[in-house]
Amino acid sequence: MSKFIARRLLELVGTMFVIVTVSFFLIRSTPGSPFASEKEIPEEVLEQLNARYGYDKPIYVQYLNYVKGLLRGDLGPSIKYPQRSVNEIIAIGFPVTMLIALIALVWALAIGIPAGILGAIRQNTIWDYSAMSAAMIGISLPAFVLGPLLVFLFSITFWLLPPGGWGSWKHLVLPSITLGAIRAGYIARLTRGGMLEVVRADYIRTARAKGLSERMVVWRHMLRGGLLPVVSYLGPAIAFMLVGSVVVEKIFNLPGIGPYFVDAAINRDLFLVMGVVVLESALLLSMNLFVDVIYCVIDPRISYE
């Protein structure tokens, strides 16, 4: 196991290097200037700005300087928000983004796994059709459609929850539902598919032959094998939720990194865009590594030695 983890960590470093390199040159090669504005900027002021942010140097020098700062944990200055560094912006917004993503993941698991189990053990019944239909609805509705619908229903029509903002637990409900609906649908379908693969396995027949109750067979034997597809999905799901929170945070006016990222992309704020890309990529790769490791805990038949 230790050799596997060490090998994967080396692969993670190499993958991050490729992501940083490709992202930097793609973003840097986009047309336009981050200092462009409606008013004409004097030439001497533009030269000072380019010198301050290193834009007056060759692009390969800019890249090397950025990598050096990245190795020190410095994500660079923000062009759009000159009074703050990228580290400060992420430190302020990322906890909000992570909280919304984790709550969304918890409720997606709490809804998706039971729905998938119900669909598998009641296959081709009204329970199965209802659970999978609800899952398809959740998958089909994008966040920018579901979010306004929830606001219209629970905020404008019934006045039960705030339509946006930040301050109390009520502000977490609608964004979390919006962000987790698609993942709940995927988890339900993956759980059903995984359960159906093991429902007729020999060890399940043996468990039933021993006289175990159906509930015990499901929870002690079927779930360990049936949830493997869900475990594989959890790593990317967390990263996708963090990325998807950009839209959700704009809809519900949340103080996460989403609004900063959107503004940075519009204004070609290289350092802030790169900071978010590096953060999201590192989380995605780390979650995939974590999922691979816990595979051994769930299924002893899997070995990485």
142-158 tens-digit pLDDT = 888 888 899 998 988 88
Whole-angstrom Cα distance, residue 32 to residue 266?
A: 11
Whole-angstrom Cα distance, residue 131 to residue 141?
A: 16
Tokens for 218, please give them.
């499901």
Domain 93-257 CATH superfamily = MetI-like (1.10.3720.10)
Q: What is the pLDDT of residue 22?
A: 92
Q: What is the pLDDT of residue 299?
A: 61
Buried b (16+ CB within 10 A) or exposed e, 80-117: bbeebbbeebbeebbebbbbbbebbbebbbebbbebbb
Nearest to 286 by CA among 220, 242, 255: 242
Q: Are 104 and 147 in contact (CB under 8 A)?
A: no
Q: What is the pLDDT of residue 21?
A: 92
| Distant-in-sequence contacts of 80-88, Cβ < 8 A, 24+ apart | 80/34, 80/263, 80/264, 80/267, 80/269, 80/272, 81/260, 81/269, 81/272, 86/271, 86/272, 86/274, 86/275, 87/275
Low-confidence ranges of the chain (pLDDT < 70): 1, 32-43, 45-46, 49, 214, 221, 225, 295-305
Q: What is the pLDDT of residue 94?
A: 86
Q: Are 293 and 110 in contact (CB under 8 A)?
A: no
Q: What is the pLDDT of residue 300?
A: 57
pLDDT in tens, 64-97: 988 998 988 888 888 878 788 889 988 888 888 8
What pTM was estimated for this model as a whole?
0.78
